[in-house]
Amino acid sequence: FHSSSKLSSNHKKRCNFGIAFDIDGVILRGRVPVGGSPQALRRLYGDSGELIVPYLFLTNGGGIPETKRAKELSELLGVNIMASQVVQGHSPFRNLLKKFENELIIATGKGDPALVMSEYGFKKVLSLEEFASYFESIDPVSQYKRWTTMPQSDRKEPAVPRYNVLSKRIKAAFVVSDPVDWGRDIQVLCDVLRSGGLPGGANNNQPPLYFAADDLEYQVRYCAYLCLMEINPKRLEYVTYGKPNPFVFKNAEVILSQLQSSSCQDHSKNNGVPGSHPFETLYMIGDNPSVDVKGAQQAGHPWFSILTRTGVFQGKDNHAEFPADLANLPYFFALPDQISPLV
Ligand code: G3P
Ligand code: MG
């Protein structure tokens, strides 16, 4: 798969494969495209900009709604990416709507976690910042944090409390993305979890805690989660989503099938009826063996894992514990002057 070569017409016609791209360390590093990723993505579209190869992004990152992320990715990568092609770590939180739609919940992490949850349909979402702002000294060192000394008018929290958190119990906590102020987040989450969701409350049944992902290799992410386990005297009850959970790959398969139905030019395998036919191969292209490769392996057929060396994995050949089906790619999206094509 080389950014300067043409997709074979056979591939276009059969439409029997799909691609799941990891974002961080494969497509982008920060906001900078890796190698020739924009050029390579453009080749998945036809001359009039129509999608000819079903593909999506499967990232454990997040913090902003999928609609916004799709727009941001489209701008950075120069192709028209739909929100349905962006599966973030927290995307499965949508499935918890029935349970918590009208309950008071708390959401934390970088970006705008409360907005993410509100866009999924949750009606009573408190950001951790807003919750903390209801308490005078929940963060005893806040005055030393220069970055929090912005005027109240510039802050997102409403000046008038929207909920009486002393009488209204928080029913669930959601770690939507990486923590920004780890110390405060751990402190506040411990308070919420250990008090049963009601500060000073007698009921200490821990409210459910959900993590968007738990890939620890990435900049020791979710340190908050590890510390919570240390601090909580009882066993911490939690659920994590994101890769490498097999259901993430099953869900990706469903989305790719839907994209295939709308993009595939050849319906001969379905008696001429538009619709999906089984994929021969689904490629998972990632940089993290214990997340991307492990996930694809656990998901089994038709997943095929490809490990790049542009992010977490920096080994020479393949990973020892989670060897990919194809590895040893210094640049997956090589530009002609970078490296010769390998696939
Ligand atoms: O914060 C993003 C990082 O944790 C993982 O993102 O795209 O490599 O799954 P990705
Ligand atoms: Mg990655």
Res 126: pLDDT: 96
Do both 120 and 215 map to the same domain? Answer: yes
Structural domain includes residue 28: yes
Structural domain includes residue 200: yes
Res 5: pLDDT: 46
Do both 14 and 120 map to the same domain? Answer: no
338 contact partners, CB below 8 Å, separation of at least 6: 35, 36, 331
Do both 98 and 195 map to the same domain? Answer: yes
The DSSP bridge pattern shows strands 172-175 and 104-108 to be parallel
Structural domain includes residue 194: yes
Last residue of a domain, one of 192, 215, 240: 240
Q: How far apart are CA 240 and CA 97, in angstroms?
A: 16
CA of residue 308 to ligand 2 center, whole Å? 9
Q: Is 90 in the pocket of ligand 1 (CB under 6 A)?
A: no
Res 62: pLDDT: 94
Q: Is 214 in the pocket of ligand 1 (CB under 6 A)?
A: no
Give helix 223-231 / helix 182-194 axis angle, nearest 10°.
40
**For a substitution probing ligand 1, which of 21, 22, 110, 306 has the most ligand atoms within 8 Å of its CB?**
22
How many domains does the chain fold into?
Answer: 2
Residue nearest to atom 3 of ligand 1 (CA): 61
Res 256: pLDDT: 96
pTM, rounded to two decimals: 0.86
Domain that holds residue 257: 9-85+244-329
Which residue positions in the chain have pLDDT lower than 70?
A: 1-14, 146-159, 201-204, 215-234, 265-277, 329-343
Do both 18 and 124 map to the same domain? Answer: no
